[in-house]
Structure 1
């Protein structure tokens, strides 16, 4: 799902690695951040290593976990929730972009997945 009013990026242009918890010096540029807005059960089945998980409904209450200077890539299962999240984040001053095709595209592209059982991590 895409929207002409929401910036989006194809899966091939999304950085290969993320580390939401990586410490950095104040003088270092902000890292790219993959924000996964899926529900908890979807996250447990399989997600991108290093992604930050904030279910869509919790995004407004957890803005303090996001860095205004980071490149924020928003991902969900296929794109519907990402549209909503990107629109909201932009309305409060973040620069965010939706990942086209979501985690389904991530898995189809052969990107790494981890989950509660890393040997069987999956999205679909």
Structure 2
């Protein structure tokens, strides 16, 4: 896992709605998403990613977020085996909130 790039939340915009070349993929479960998520993020629970891989723009700068980084790293290892690259949002939504970055609640994702 040491070779997967990790990006601190402080280097990311608060809102991904207008990000053209970047995708923030949130792989947490639906209840976690509903409790709070980053505006403009793409939500696909980790277990659904293989079946929904076509929904992810793998040519974009892919940033993966979960609760604290574990699931993100697992997904990035999986994508690496398929020949795709991405970065882990270091510390996940916990770090996002700890750094005072905004979250939206609700929604099915």
Given the two structures, how large is their TM-score scaled by the length of structure 2?
Answer: 0.88
Aligned mates of 1:93, 1:63 — CA distance in 2:
13
* Aligned position for 1:17: 15
Is 1:52 matched with 2:42? Answer: yes
Is 1:84 matched with 2:82? Answer: no
2:14–2:38 CA contact under 8 A, matched in 1:
no
**Structure 2 portions without partners, runs of 5+:** none
Say how many residue pairs are matched: 107
SS in 2 for 1:59: helix
Aligned mates of 2:106, 2:10 — CA distance in 1:
26
Aligned mates of 1:67, 1:16 — CA distance in 2:
20
More divergent stretch after superposition (87-96 vs 67-76): 87-96
Q: Which has the larger radius of gyration?
A: 1
Aligned mates of 2:63, 2:38 — CA distance in 1:
12
SS in 2 for 1:33: strand
**Structure 1 portions without partners, runs of 5+:** 23-29, 118-124
Q: CA RMSD in A?
A: 1.9
Given the two structures, how large is their TM-score scaled by the length of structure 1?
Answer: 0.78
